[in-house]
Amino acid sequence: MPEIHPTSILEGDINLADDVKIGPSCILRGNITLGAGVQLLERVSIKGPARIGAGTIFYPGAIVGYEPQDYKFAPGTPTAGIEIGDNCIIREHATVHAATNTEQPTRLGEGVFLMVNSHVGHDTVVGDRCVIVNNTCLAGHVIVEDRVTFSGGCLVHQHCRIGRLCMLSGGSIISTDLIPYCMTAERNEVVGLNLVGLRRSGMPPSEINILRDTFTHLLRQNLPKPELVEVIAQRMENSEALKHLHKFLVNCDKKALTPIGRNRKKHHI
């Protein structure tokens, strides 16, 4: 039977797994499902529609599922809400806002670590095993692929796409599409491959070498996107990493690509 502290308030169609623990002064309202082993430590607020995966832990002051910060969205407008995957960690005062549409929720994948004061905006989709460090803000409609690491204080503009296994250094500002496997610095600048992340992910050395060669080529030429897509297509036959990069580039149709090494004399590839 779920453990619910007597000071907490639950209103609406709320479904709790048998081993859910809800601590003091939590507020749950609406259509909410909490999976097995979910814990709300204290003073957590969740507004439905919301589906929370098994093993996810919320720390004090976390607020998820409330209305998006969008002038066009009136209070009470129907929404697909939020969906948070299994085994996520939602730390103090982190926020995840509900979707502006009724079909696709704002979503965090499995194993996402959302640290203190971080924010995930409406209609944003975050892939599996991403780390979003303190004070990082993702605006609305952002797409983040798997295993991306955002260092502290990063800012991502609405409608941007962030490729898998990227590493954004502290204070990075992104208003463009960021290709997979790379590291960023400052404002809209790729400074090299995320070699540590690639190795930790288990990517074979042969694949990493292919990426290094490709990135060196890109750094020297900084090709326009149509030519870049063609170059990657010519190289990708024996590389799953390049096939994914090619797919990412083909799907980038709203934003420019983040420049590679625009301001750097030395590139850390």
| 80 Cβ neighbours under 8 A, 6+ residues apart | 49, 98, 99, 101, 102, 103, 104, 105, 106
The catalytic position among 123, 153, 177, 192 is: 123
The catalytic position among 61, 140, 163, 261 is: 140
Active site residue 159: no
Structure tokens at 175: 């208003």
The catalytic position among 119, 122, 141, 246 is: 122
Q: What is the DSSP secondary-structure string of the chain?
A: --EE-TT-EEESSEEE-TT-EE-TT-EEESSEEE-TT-EE-SS-EEESSEEE-TT-EE-TT-EESPPPS-TT--TT-----EEE-TT-EE-TT-EEPPPSSSSS-EEE-TT-EE-TT-EE-TT-EE-TT-EE-TT-EE-TT-EE-TT-EE-TT-EE-TT-EE-TT-EEPTT-EE-SBB-TTEEE-SBS-EEEE-HHHHHHTT--HHHHHHHHHHHHHHHHH---HHHHHHHHHHHGGG-HHHHHHHHHHHT--SSPBPPBSSS-SS---
Active site residue 122: yes
Active site residue 123: yes
What are the residue numbers of the active site? 122-123, 140
